Amino acid sequence: MNIKNKIPPPAVALFFGVVMWLISAGIPDSVSTTRIFGVAVCLLVGAFFSLAGIASFRKAKTTVNPLKPNLATTLVVSGIFSVSRNPMYVGITFILLAWSIYLGVVWALLGVIGFVIFINQFQVIPEEKVMLALFGEEYVSYSKRVRRWL
């Protein structure tokens, strides 16, 4: 059982990042120290969630390919996956949040919201159906313990 979405989540994030840039009318002229700090924190949090998720999948020797969740051989529930069922999407969201802070236009947050809505509808929910089919009650129990996002 494959999911119907054929657009990799990083490509979706790139699309929304470009939309955010267009909304903001380009790169800001000046960036304050406070904004730089906010950008740095969000980038670090985003990188941590994304890389920890990838590392957990690699350690479990299961697929990292979000377009083929049916190839999963193990339900990963430890490490960062004990905090979020979708740490890589959480990570990408934080990276987009960093971009919106850098751009300095509140309307750029629409790109972050758009990404979350799109990924939730076309990636996360279909992935959950596949995980339920593959891992049954083990996945049901896991999803009751750990939140979808944060």
Confidence of residue 2 (pLDDT cuts 50, 70, 90): low
Asked if residue 99 has pLDDT above 90, the reply is yes
Picking from 89, 59, 88, the residue whose alpha carbon sits closest to that of residue 74 is 59
pLDDT of res. 1 = 57
* pLDDT confidence tier of residue 137, bands split at 50, 70 and 90: very high
Q: Residue 25: which pLDDT band, with cuts at 50, 70 and 90?
A: confident
Question: What's the pLDDT tens digit per position in 46-98?
Answer: 999 999 999 999 999 999 999 899 899 999 999 999 999 999 999 999 999 99
Q: pTM for the complete prediction?
A: 0.94
Alpha-carbon distance 58 to 38, whole Å? 30
Contacting residues for 120 by C-beta, under 8 A, at least 6 apart = 148
Q: Which two three-digit tokens encode residue 39?
A: 């950008």
Give the model's pLDDT for residue 111: 97
CB 102 within 8 A of CB 42: no
* Pick from 46, 150, 52, 53: nearest CA to 91: 46
